[in-house]
Amino acid sequence: MKAKCRLLLSVCFFVVAAASTVIFAEDANETGMQFVPIKAGSFTMGADLSADYITAEKGIFIQDEFPVRKVTITRDFEMGRYEVTNAQYEKFDPKHAALRGKAYGISADDNEAVVYVNWYEATGFCKWLSANDKEYDYRLPTEAEWEYACRAGTRTPYNDGVGGDIYSLNPLGELTGKWRIITPWLITRGNRPAKNIAWESPEDVDLTVGQDGPNAWGLYDMIGGVQEMTGDWYGPYVESDTVDPVGYADGSSKVVRGGCHNVYIQTLRSANRSSSNRTDSHFLMGFRVTRVPKGQTLSKPKLKQPVKRWAKNVSQKKYKWKSDSMKPSFELVSLYDVKDAYGTAELTRQYEIPIYNHSHSPALTWCNNGDVLLAWFTGESEKGQALTVLGLRGRRQRSGKLVWDTEVSEFYKEADRNMHGTQLWNNAVRLANGFKEPFTLYLLNGICTDGKWSKQAPLYFQSRMVDGKVAISSTRIYHQELSDSNPPKILR
């Protein structure tokens, strides 16, 4: 066992369920998309593994799959038999043809699952289908609808109904190799070899739809193939949210489900949750469509995202600095005794934050109210999809003293995505040079397609005061154009 370590803050700054049987139908719309009717019913949603796996030596980070709860879907719906293909999507967006095969040659043919489509474009496709159909409306499935349809009455880790040792299960058989899915289960401590958690350079695979399945309800490629976007904002499960759940009223990323090619096998589990910024698109992610009778709508989301400690009770009063100084100030504060003993209650509590054993690369900036905001990444190594960004606030007292919060909490995370390269800054220099704008804080953070940082793009958002209220912009992904001189492995 490794010796206990202590996470230190070093700051240097300048003061300036069972369902009804489904009848498989071959009902298709004008694009050739086939749909399967899914009957209303109830199921158990969430983790199908014990929470003990989180702190096991071969850890499975399933914190966001709890609490497990019984969910009821009260209305029938139809779901696309297959993922949307290039040919189908390009009837709506012909220009997308230029993106076929751009990354590693992936998804070049008509009948392969479409990739390089972001959430806005996927919902635009659904609206286009709805406008051209007098009988049906189309949308992305809710997260609950997706898991309900994927499980198709099963409660096993994968939707094939096979139980047993999770570390040896393989729901795809020969497809695992064809789709280059990584199967060895890893010990989660230490710097693992990159090849064992995600590919440095993914390779072309055949994404022709219909290779896996069908599941018990007639749906193909619900695991593997490509990741599938949903309509819900990503956030923690709420135990009472049990009837036709539609998620949160807002958020920073949308839920993505289903696992995909060229990634780690644990993400193919029916309960696994990923997420994606609405502006993001890459070679792992596509979507499938849900169809409902014309005029049938979902209820309006009412859940509110929990407020993190670093964002609570923040003074909006501008701090009056006594004077500017270029003299550095140094402070050393012990934040947390990091635990590393497998299977212990202490490690469970630590992972609920989550704080992992590998924490570094802090970023900080000062705020207009005198506070200092700190963020850094944490994970079990440099590699892995559990990597996240934590935040902490140092609060300016009337005396001028800075007092750091004792409660660490997550600052920004997109699920199942490696998060690297956090940067925080403000616009004080712009204001000093005459720009007429509110005081603004900025976050720039690298976000990867999977568990390896080689396929990374910058994510950005800002926070400022508008009409006396805090206004936080939507997060955005900035892509670089792919070319021979700027290969896909740099950014997607």
Establish if 426 belongs to a structural domain: yes
CA dihedral defined by 258, 261, 267, 270, rounded to 10 degrees? 30
Establish if 489 belongs to a structural domain: no
- The tokens for 433 are 């040079």
Which DSSP symbol is given to 166? T
- 231, 261, 293 - which closes a domain: 293
Based on the fold, state whether residues 238 and 173 are members of the same structural domain: yes
Q: What residues have CB less than 8 Å from 277, skipping those under 6 apart? A: 119, 252, 253, 254, 414, 447, 459, 475, 476, 477
Based on the fold, state whether residues 329 and 439 are members of the same structural domain: yes
CB of 199 closer than 8 Å to CB of 180: yes
The pLDDT of residue 490 is 32
Establish if 484 belongs to a structural domain: no
Establish if 390 belongs to a structural domain: yes
Establish if 239 belongs to a structural domain: yes
Tokens 């976000």 found at: 447
Expressed as residue numbers, the domain containing 465 is: 5-13+305-477
Based on the fold, state whether residues 360 and 288 are members of the same structural domain: no
Establish if 486 belongs to a structural domain: no
The pLDDT of residue 454 is 76
Q: What residues have CB less than 8 Å from 14, skipping those under 6 apart? A: 325, 326, 327, 328, 329
Phi, psi dihedral angles at 196 (to 5 degrees): -90, -10
Based on the fold, state whether residues 68 and 161 are members of the same structural domain: yes
Establish if 176 belongs to a structural domain: yes
Based on the fold, state whether residues 193 and 55 are members of the same structural domain: yes
The enclosing domain of 143 has a CATH number of: 3.90.1580.10
- 232, 259, 293 - which closes a domain: 293
- 266, 293, 320 - which closes a domain: 293
What's the number of domains the chain is made of? 2
Based on the fold, state whether residues 367 and 255 are members of the same structural domain: no
Establish if 298 belongs to a structural domain: no
Distances (CA, A) of 177 to 265, 370, 383: 11, 55, 22
Q: What residues have CB less than 8 Å from 213, skipping those under 6 apart? A: 219, 220, 221, 222
**Predicted TM-score of the model (pTM):** 0.91
Based on the fold, state whether residues 228 and 140 are members of the same structural domain: yes
CA dihedral defined by 171, 172, 177, 181, rounded to 10 degrees? -60
- Give CA–CA dist 333/404, Å, rounded: 8
CB of 476 closer than 8 Å to CB of 460: yes
- Give CA–CA dist 48/453, Å, rounded: 29
Based on the fold, state whether residues 286 and 337 are members of the same structural domain: no
Tokens 């299977």 found at: 343
Based on the fold, state whether residues 233 and 323 are members of the same structural domain: no
Based on the fold, state whether residues 333 and 260 are members of the same structural domain: no
Based on the fold, state whether residues 285 and 396 are members of the same structural domain: no
pLDDT per residue, tens digit, the chain (492 aa), is 334 444 443 333 333 333 333 333 446 677 889 999 999 999 999 999 999 999 998 889 999 999 999 999 999 999 999 999 999 999 999 999 999 999 999 999 999 999 999 999 999 999 999 999 999 999 999 999 999 999 999 999 999 999 999 999 999 999 999 999 999 887 776 655 556 777 878 889 999 999 999 999 999 999 999 999 999 999 999 999 999 999 999 999 999 999 999 998 999 999 999 999 999 999 999 999 999 999 999 999 999 999 999 999 998 889 998 877 788 878 777 777 888 888 999 999 999 999 998 888 899 999 999 999 999 999 888 888 888 999 999 999 999 899 999 899 999 999 999 888 899 999 999 999 999 998 999 999 989 898 887 788 888 888 876 666 666 777 888 765 443 333 333 333
